[in-house]
Amino acid sequence: MRIGVFGGTFDPVHLAHLILAEQCREQARLDQVWFVPAARPPHKHEDELTPFERRVEMLQFAVAGQPAFRVEDLEKDRAGPSYTADTLDELARRQPGNEWFLLVGSDTLRDLPTWHEPRRVVARAGLLVVARPAAALVPAEELQAKVGAPVRVQNIDVPLIDISSSDLRARVRRGRSIRYFVPRAVEMYVLEKKLYRQ
């Protein structure tokens, strides 16, 4: 199967995440998109994050009703930082024979050469790249030169929807509405569990 891997903190998951995933599924002819929440992202302190189980539950609410979407919580049991190279290796070990694609924004793509073992990442998965506001697309040739290995890139056409999880957390802290930024079930979960309050 052709599987898209969508990693991130998803704190909280929002509609731009879901639109991006659906457009990648359609345009790259993916059989499934797996949302893989990071347990311990290397660029964030763990105490800054909503507990892993809560983020997984929000994702499960968000993807309900789309059978091609799945939440994969393999990061919860892995020690150390959540490196993409390790995640892709573990997915391939568990599901040999699948063709893997990593969903990335153009803002994230610029940093790929500085990731932990970027050659392992591009050897394991093709890159489905979505333009992000204020982040130009990096030409595949330039990326390949910086990584020092062949890179498979497909640009995905997605409307520029500038929603960020950090902005949504700030809205909740200020008592503002997040309706229509997140699925209704996620909005109700945030309210019920009193997430992102001071």
Q: Which residues contact 146 (CB under 8 A, 6 or more apart)?
A: 112, 113
Indicate whether 198 belongs to any domain: no
Residue 133 is part of a domain; what is its CATH number?
3.40.50.620
On whether residue 38 sits in a domain, the answer given is yes
pLDDT digits (tens, 9 = 90+) for 87-96: 999 999 999 9
Q: Strand, coil or helix: what is 108?
A: helix
Q: How far is CA 84 from CA 16, 130, 149, in A?
A: 21, 18, 17
Structural domains counted in the chain: 1
For residues 46-52, average pLDDT: 84
Question: Out of 22-31, 36-45, 97-106, 168-177, which region has the weakest mean confidence (pLDDT)?
Answer: 36-45
Query: 79 or 61, which is more confident?
Result: 61
> Considering the domain boundaries, does residue 166 fall inside one?
no
Tell me how long the chain is.
Answer: 198
Q: What is the mean pLDDT of residues 183-191?
A: 98
> Is 181 within the bounds of a domain?
no
Query: CB count, 10 Å around CB of 47?
Result: 5
Tell me the residue range of the domain where 155 lies.
2-161
Q: What is the mean pLDDT of residues 52-64?
A: 97
pTM: 0.94
Other Cβ atoms less than 10 A from the Cβ of 52: the count is 18
Is there a domain that residue 133 lies in?
yes
20, part of any domain: yes
Tally of CB atoms within 10 A around 126:
17
pLDDT band at 43 (very low <50, low <70, confident <90, very high): confident
SS3 state of residue 57:
helix
